[in-house]
Chains A and B, each alone.
Chain A
């Protein structure tokens, strides 16, 4: 069937890059991008990084070039979908017809149950970032609830701004859900070096409002932390409510097949943080909240729409980055339960760099590099080809002067 009109719902990086990829691939029909936020499309990773530290301003993080080659309907959310009529219904009642639909409505920050959203901030939209940056300028104590990457980035930015910072983490080690406890402790040490207090195995039971716009964070063990600013980084929820009556398969995201296409809905695709795609390699569904995955799925789906005959399943190398205290932390792959972990110190012309390598029965599963982009790219190439961990060590040795193992047990004691 000839496709004349593509509708994209979602104006963050997945939606915008999909529209751009359609044009770059030669699509000459109509493309319209619908976005709930009225702000011009912008990039989200800097919200908890460069925008908070002041390295970037809102003007620096726009996603569009001057020559926008597609239609934009901003400031109006999608409210419904009729896949039989091939129409998206906007909140103002206007229908948007399509031949192909790309769902890219992303996620929103999970809120802490029983707390006031004005008191416990979250960070997902540009206005959240701008408001938080203004708060950090006061230098008042900051409590970050949740020791994930967003929380850690906020903590780092707050500490750099001169605020006393405490991270409250429910698990025994921050970052351990993604990195495992051993490597999580390396990141904890980085925060400790910069004066951040990290409370582990600590559960928040409530946040009370104090006079003069302050807050009291109460913990299960009886401790209470007074703060000028409280930020929760406790995960995200996919934005699928607008699809509740559409009949689309929804369960923690929009379910798709291995080509990012939604089964049972002709011409409908889902990409980015909201999409739960079937990964044939693992025989599982995955919903990935990372920038690079969003852009790669955008490219993939644009290609599917332009040249469906060349259909193949979506595959990518899992990758994300985080910036904390000026250190670029880059992760490739996925850590599984019980994976072996080793840390290597690689001497490079730019200085010594740590790399954590994870493996299962000798097979390389994941890598985390600290401040070493070239090492990160090396591990991405290796992951792509399904390497043995010994081959990854050799590849890292080939791009550094010397590689020495780091004793994790000794490191933890210091």
Chain B
């Protein structure tokens, strides 16, 4: 599983970075930056929580080939 992001959808709410600063940050324009797209089994719960906390649905998890 990898983290995917659509900066076109991102609105800069910052909930992802607020909940999981290991994987998410915002750039100077306020758009999401995926710091590291790979996740470990232990990180999965935190990452999925960050995904559900995105009001713009700009981030998601998907299999590597997708």
Contact = CB atoms under 8 A, between A and B. Distances in A.
Contacts, number: 63
B14 A377 contact: yes
Contact of B30 (A317, A372, A381): A372
Contact of B48 (A24, A45, A348, A372): A24
Interface stretch (A136-144, A253-261, A288-296): A288-296
B14 A350 contact: no
Nearest to A400: B28
- The dominant DSSP class at the A interface is helix
A376 B14 contact: yes
Interface size of B as a range? 20 to 34
A276 interface: no
Contact of B52 (A45, A295, A348, A350): A295
A64 B45 CA distance: 19
Interface string B9-51: 0011111011101000111111000000000000001001100
B52 A24 contact: yes
Contacts of A303: 45
Contacts of A292: 13, 15, 18, 53
Interface residues of A, number: 29
B53 A374 contact: no
A99 interface: no
A21 B52 contact: yes
B18 A21 contact: no
A25 B45 contact: yes
A-B pairs, 7 with minimum CB distance: A373-B12, A373-B30, A377-B14, A349-B28, A24-B48, A374-B26, A377-B17
